[in-house]
Structure 1
């Protein structure tokens, strides 16, 4: 499988607009696999939500029997 990397744009109607240079490398009607990478948000509230969710999931697996290891 070949991989090409290039910037693209999502249009207002939800279409993924590819650069002409990229389109020239692809055959018409060819099935492709798409991976979309977007910049991470800098929203600290979103990061806090993910951190809380991770902590909750981690602690959900903690049982009373695990307290034995707290004293080591």
Structure 2
């Protein structure tokens, strides 16, 4: 059996985290989005968000959720 040399390019090294901050989507009206979207997946995600997060007063973020924990 003959060995066939590989001709595809070598895979690039995985990239690290971007220095660019993520966009802030905190002002998105999820209820309005859920009411007017006809996209099946987006509608399900919006409905799930609304069902599991009934008000802004219930939002919680933990220190362990921050990106700086991943960098140490």
Structure 1 or 2, whichever has the larger Rg, is 1
Give the TM-score of the pair, scaled to structure 2: 0.25
Please report the TM-score for the alignment, with normalisation by the length of structure 1: 0.25
**Structure with the larger strand share:** 1
Greater RCO (Cα-Cα under 8 Å, separation 6 or more): 2
